[in-house]
Amino acid sequence: MSMDDPKLFQHLTDLYNYLNEEGEEGTYSGSQRRTFEKLKLSPAYNPILYRALREMGCIEVVQRGHGRKPTILKLVRNPQIAQFREWNQTAMVDRPLTARVSLSTIEQRLNLLERRLPTIDLVAWVIGIEGRLADIESRLEDMTSGKTTKRRSNSNTVD
């Protein structure tokens, strides 16, 4: 099972629909584990599906369940395929690189990152940094050689 699993969106909509049918007034209260058992979904999907629903804004966690205390979810909106595709691309970038990542996956991640980052004129940025660095080096050289540099006058001092 991977994030690229074609069944993932279908499982996502099945889960949301189940939560909506079993819930009352836009709120679901129950066990995540039992929900997966009733839907006959592999437990391996649990963290991915709930993460997707949360990050896509489809659900909000009101209370995390543990022991006998149920999970309470506010149902916000049905998952949409376009929203899911966007989330899946973002989730792909956020996943750590491993030795088994294909070249095409790396290219997809790089393309997505390039679209997310603003256009930066690196040459101008480096020239600006070099100018500031040269100024700092000059001041340090003057300080270590005993020369004084102009200091800003403090108009608040009393003579």
pLDDT per position as a tens digit, 93-132: 555 555 566 677 777 777 777 777 777 776 787 888 899 9
Q: What is the pLDDT of residue 150?
A: 57
User: What is the rounded distance in angstroms from the CA atom of residue 29 to the CA atom of residue 124?
Assistant: 56
Q: What is the pLDDT of residue 155?
A: 47
Q: Which residues of the chain have pLDDT under 50?
A: 1-2, 152-159
User: What is the rounded distance in angstroms from the CA atom of residue 13 to the CA atom of residue 110?
Assistant: 29
Radius of gyration of the chain (CA): 27
28 SS3 class: strand
User: What is the rounded distance in angstroms from the CA atom of residue 124 to the CA atom of residue 71?
Assistant: 53
**CATH (residue range 8-116):** 1.10.10.10
Q: What is the pLDDT of residue 156?
A: 46
Residues 54-84 as b or e (16 or more Cβ within 10 Å = b) = eebebbeeeeebeeeebbbbebeeebeeebb
Among left, alpha and beta (phi > 0; psi -120 to 50; other), residue 57 is left
The ranges assigned to domains in the chain are 8-116, 119-147
Q: What is the pLDDT of residue 18?
A: 92
Q: What is the pLDDT of residue 5?
A: 59
